[in-house]
Amino acid sequence: MASMTIRNLDDSLSSACGSAPCPMAGAWKTRHATSVAEAEIRYGMARMGHGRRRQQLEHAVISIFNDDFAGRILPFDGEAAWAYAAVACERFQAGRPISQVDAQIIATPTRDQQQ
Q: Cα separation of 24 and 91, whole Å?
A: 29
Q: Are residues 68 and 101 in the same domain?
A: no
pLDDT tens track for 31-78 = 888 999 999 999 999 999 899 999 999 999 999 999 989 999 999 999
**Residues 6 and 37 sit within 8 Å (Cβ to Cβ):** yes
Q: What pLDDT is recorded for position 81?
A: 93
Q: Cα separation of 42 and 38, whole Å?
A: 6
Q: Are residues 66 and 90 in the same domain?
A: no
pLDDT tens track for 72-100 = 999 999 999 999 999 999 999 999 999 99
Q: Are residues 16 and 63 in the same domain?
A: yes
Quote the pTM value.
0.67
Q: Are residues 70 and 84 in the same domain?
A: no
